[in-house]
Structure 1
Amino acid sequence: MPYLDGLTPDNVGEGSSRLTVAYLEAVMLFPNDPERQARAMMAVDVSLEVDRHIQHLGPDELVPARDMAALVDSVRRAPRIEEFASVSKQAMNRGVFAGYVVLHVLARKQLSPKTATIGQAIKLAIEAGFGDSASNFNKSVRSQFMAVSHLWAAFVMLAQEREAEWAFPCRLDSIPYFLATAEVIRREGESFKPPQSNSTLLNPSISLKVPEGIALPQIQPLVFERL
């Protein structure tokens, strides 16, 4: 089973940082593109490096000359966050589409098992404005986001529950809870075969799992009160 290899016991929980969030963002937005993941991480890392230098300066201080050359070189070599704007928007739309479908199938599994089909979930996702077409889902969305669709489902669910205080993919202090929610969704999806489907909702040989040894909060099984 593949793992979210950028997560460790040191950067989840008390050690969570903006780089932990950046890693999750990159993996969720570009699950099949390690090079783009690395460039996105580099952009955030350099931005944080610049912020660290500025935060330690007094009102009339300048960055020491010994640090300036390295800082300028890092900024020069780093990709600009702006370069990811358009492609990230498309990836965001597709990821939400994938997450909504997973979440809706699992909701129907509890509330209306006979209608818990992927096709029905796709149709409702489109009607709700989360997707554009069934053909796009089958050709692009499912194959591209299958490995991380449980993470997107967790994002969709928690964003709906806590709309006023949520962020993508989660707030810094909510990383363990976000990951725990995604793991519950992953396990349910890997064990459920929807009607009219030849395989389980999520593929355990593809879905990215939280590595062993990372402490996550214990959360209750998913309970859906309505579709």
Structure 2
Amino acid sequence: MKHGPDIARIAALIGDPARANILSALMSGKALTASELAGEAGVSASTASSHLGRLLEGGLVKEARQGRHKYFALAGEDVAQVLEVLMGFAAGQGHLRTRTGPKDAQLREARVCYNHLAGSRGIQLYDSLFARDFMELRGDDLFLTEAGQGFVRTLGVDFDQLVKSRAPVCRTCLDWSARRPHLAGSLGRALFKRFEMMGWAYRVRDTRAVQFSSDGLRQFNMAFPVNPGSHG
């Protein structure tokens, strides 16, 4: 194909094992230094810098300076969405890099996908909003209904501010661990931020895993019931 988007160039950038490890580490949504990413990739600092240069040039990551340090992060949510879909496809084909263990089980239960909740709890949130008619599809686009807007406001989300942003409010992201959708977009980000602020959940240090407190899980299940008929 001589015309159109150059997917081969992007695929080649992602396809290198060290760069794939760097990008996977940045799926936590945290900005990391080159030395931290070198450790994640299992390469030397100089090799990591070379890989980061290529990822910057390809528009997959961005950099920011703070004092003497330079930090790297994914260029945007669209990059995270591409990576999550690729993870789902790889998992579906049985291409797993490690044997399943406790860490894997925790990631499947709840994890951060760039800036929103993924895993079983993320899918629960998505399904619950749909089951109660708080969210609906209009063509290929995802929207909160009027009732849904009222609901997220009760959780402390400033929905009016989300609408003012140029970013999509609701966006579907394919969950790699279950190959079912969870909620991304500015609403997904705002909800996860509220869960953290309310003390329902926290990020496990040096991992993408998310841990719910016992009371936080109870509150989460009340807000996003698996069986909507039990919500009252």
What is the TM-score of this pair, normalised by structure 2? 0.28
Q: Tell which has more relative contact order, 1 or 2 (C-alpha 8 A, sep 6+).
A: 1
More helix by share: 1
More strand by share: 2
What is the TM-score of this pair, normalised by structure 1? 0.28
